[in-house]
Chain A
Amino acid sequence: MVVTQKREEKHLVLTLEGRLDTTTAPQLEEVLKSSLGGVTHLTLDLAKLVYVSSAGLRVILGAQKQMSKLDGMVVKNVNETVMDVFEVTGFKEILTLE
């Protein structure tokens, strides 16, 4: 998985490309840990994310919980297969999807 960061003042955009699974979820967790300082609004762009498992959901949930205390988190460009996972797990209701 490739994570690309783009920061505009207090807004951070993370673009995820590839597979967010047991093997790669720690990588996203690490990026979040090191990059969220001073960030009040987070966008996850999943246009190029082709796969997500429960390990990835755990990290996304953690980010959502953390950002909900600030200005929030938006998840955008979710493809069909990833959306299936969000739907089955009820993540569709707790995430702000665009």
Chain B
Amino acid sequence: MKEIRLPAKTENLKKVIDFVSSELEIHSCPLRAKFQIELAVEEIFVNIANYAYRPEVGEATVRCSVEGEPLQVTVQFFDRGKEYNPLSREAPDTSLPLEDREIGGLGILLVKKNMDTIDYEYREGKNILTIKKKV
């Protein structure tokens, strides 16, 4: 598994996306799946950047593997911030009329809808989020 470690700041989003994208490109991941995975990676990384260490800045580690036949993409996120399980959050109501709509929770919804599995664990002081998708 390849790995990138960097300060969890939204300014570093591009680095994280480029890291994952280049792994996907090496394995000729179809464009549509690549877009869906990038979307999930953005939503998770930005969540860590905005909340994990607030108001401080800490580090995040992102690991990525693309292997098997059919191709299975696995991306793992590690941070040492506050314990937080994004899966515990209540799903937003996507059928509400315009005036009642809020944006909270849409990010994690996009992760769930675009990936096959998403697992959270808190181990040895680390939040570990693992997302997988067959492409």
Across the interface, do A53 and B94 meet the contact criterion of CB distance under 8 Å? no
Name B34's closest neighbour in chain A (CB-CB). A81
In angstroms, how far is the closest chain B Cβ from the Cβ of A91?
A: 8
State the CA gap A61–B32 with chains docked (Å).
24
Among the interface residues B32, B39, B96, which one has the most CB atoms of the partner chain A within 10 A? B39
Name A23's closest neighbour in chain B (CB-CB). B13
Across the interface, do A21 and B42 meet the contact criterion of CB distance under 8 Å? yes
B61 on the A face (CB < 8 A): no
Number of interface residues of A (CB under 8 A): 23
In angstroms, how far is the closest chain B Cβ from the Cβ of A30?
A: 16
Across the interface, do A65 and B42 meet the contact criterion of CB distance under 8 Å? no
SS of B interface (majority): helix
Across the interface, do B98 and A68 meet the contact criterion of CB distance under 8 Å? yes
Across the interface, do B98 and A22 meet the contact criterion of CB distance under 8 Å? no
Name B38's closest neighbour in chain A (CB-CB). A51
B23 on the A face (CB < 8 A): no
Which residues on the B side are within 8 Å of A85 (C-beta)? Answer: 39, 110
In angstroms, how far is the closest chain B Cβ from the Cβ of A62?
A: 9
- Which residue of B11, B97, B103, B113 contacts A57 across the interface (Cβ within 8 Å)? B103
* B residues in contact (CB < 8 Å) with A: 10-11, 13-14, 32, 35-36, 38-39, 42-43, 46, 94-99, 101, 103, 106-107, 109-110, 113-114
